[in-house]
């Protein structure tokens, strides 16, 4: 749900990771539509117009309703807007307020008695205006069927969390690597159930640096100056999988990327991703992705041609 002068970056940080998750898993796990109050195009703060699929009154039952407002949010805070948001919220399992969106949700009475955050530039005014809401200086807050998010970078972190919640840690790692290239995985995470602890982050970094010559658990633990049992426990706690399973996923993801984006042979790809033979890699890829290396390559080319 877009309001004029919304943050284009905030919208992209929600939608693009979902699109990437679909691409990485070869399934349409997520589907989205754009709504505005009247169904007309919405103009971002940078003047980019986004065409709406429908007006908000046409909303059917959805899993998530994202409400995105940024600049001039107070001009959108009208009686009709509050009525429409209350009606739309009843059709969503979870309502997400993005950037200044929580202001409109609070004005509609949807956040009464709940914790919420908002873009930090508005936090003081928000806490003074809505006394029934427990305003907190946090990036993301989840209270019952409502989530609130402080801004564009927080929106990326929140969306990565949704991907992990619905699809697991592996797809999140793939998407995170695409959007946070050069940043240690987990560096921006605040959720205690993710890879935010230093040991897991260092382990992921060492794994990424040793795709071609994968390390055994004992050698990996030695390089990290910890016991194998400790490393295994941390991975199960933070990522819900063993170090070996995460390492195998990273190698297969690297192989898939090479197959889809380069002209390297299957044999060369297998060597670069730490497999003893092309046959061993092909078996692993088929088991993991349900396709042969050749089929992965052809599927990627067909998608490019369609675009």
pLDDT tens profile 181-212: 543 333 334 344 444 588 998 999 899 899 99
Burial of 226 (0-12, 13-18, 19+ CB in 10 A): middle
110-147 residue pLDDT tens: 999 999 999 999 999 999 999 999 999 999 999 999 99
- With tokens 């691409």, the residue in question is 23
**What is the band of 230 on the pLDDT scale with cuts at 50, 70, 90?**
very high
Rounded to the nearest 10 degrees, the angle between the axes of helix 243-261 and helix 169-179 is 50
Q: What pLDDT is stored for residue 138 in this prediction?
A: 93
What are the tokens at 169? 């840690």
Fold entry, domain 8-157: Rossmann fold (3.40.50)
pLDDT, mean of residues 214-220 = 95
Q: Tell me, what's the pLDDT at 229?
A: 94
Q: Is the dihedral of CA 104, 105, 111, 112 positive or negative?
A: positive
Q: Alpha-carbon distance 67 to 2, whole Å?
A: 6
**The pLDDT of residue 41:** 96
Average pLDDT over residues 66-95: 95
Q: Among the listed ranges 34-38, 65-69, 239-243, 296-300, which one has the minimum average pLDDT value? A: 296-300
Tokens representing 190 are: 């605040």
Write out pLDDT tens, residues 16-71.
999 999 988 888 899 999 999 999 999 999 999 999 999 998 999 999 999 999 99
At residue 276, does pLDDT exceed 60? yes
Q: What is the CATH number of domain 197-307?
A: 1.10.10.60
Three-state DSSP state, 31: coil
- The residue ranges of every structural domain in the chain are 8-157, 197-307
Report how far apart, in Å, the C-alpha atoms of 220 and of each of 47, 201, 232, 237 are: 50, 13, 11, 18
CB 105, CB 67: distance < 8 Å? yes
User: What number of other Cβ atoms are within 10 A of residue 244's Cβ?
Assistant: 14
Average pLDDT over residues 230-249: 90
């Amino acid at each position: 749900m877009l309001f004029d002068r919304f943050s284009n970056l905030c919208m992209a940080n929600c939608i693009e990771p979902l699109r990437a998750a679909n691409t990485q898993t070869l399934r349409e796990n997520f589907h989205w539509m754009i709504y505005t109050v009247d169904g007309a195009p919405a103009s971002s703060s940078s003047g980019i117009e986004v065409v709406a699929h429908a007006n908000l009154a046409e909303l059917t039952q959805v899993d998530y309703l994202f409400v995105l407002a940024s600049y001039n949010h107070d001009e959108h805070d009208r009686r009709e807007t509050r009525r429409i948001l209350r009606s739309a919220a009843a059709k969503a399992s979870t309502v997400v307020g993005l950037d200044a969106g929580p202001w409109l949700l609070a004005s509609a009475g949807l956040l009464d008695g709940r914790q919420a955050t908002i873009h930090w530039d508005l936090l003081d005014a928000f806490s003074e205006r809505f006394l029934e809401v427990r305003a907190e200086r946090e990036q993301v807050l989840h209270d019952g069927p409502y989530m609130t998010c402080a801004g564009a970078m927080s929106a990326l972190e929140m969306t990565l969390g949704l991907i992990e919640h619905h699809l697991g840690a592996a797809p999140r790692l793939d998407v995170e690597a695409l959007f946070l290239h050069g940043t240690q995985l987990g560096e921006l995470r605040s959720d205690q159930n993710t890879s935010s602890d230093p040991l897991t982050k260092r382990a992921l970094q060492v794994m990424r640096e040793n795709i071609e010559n994968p390390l055994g658990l004992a050698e990996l633990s030695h390089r990290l100056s910890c016991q194998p049992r400790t490393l295994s426990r941390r991975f199960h706690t933070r990522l819900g999988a063993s170090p070996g399973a995460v390492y195998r996923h990273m190698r297969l993801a690297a192989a898939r990327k090479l197959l889809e984006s380069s002209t390297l042979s299957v044999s060369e790809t297998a060597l670069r991703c730490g497999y003893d033979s092309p046959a061993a890699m092909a078996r692993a890829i088929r088991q993991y992705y349900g396709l042969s290396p050749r089929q992965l390559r052809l599927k990627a080319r067909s998608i490019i041609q369609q675009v």
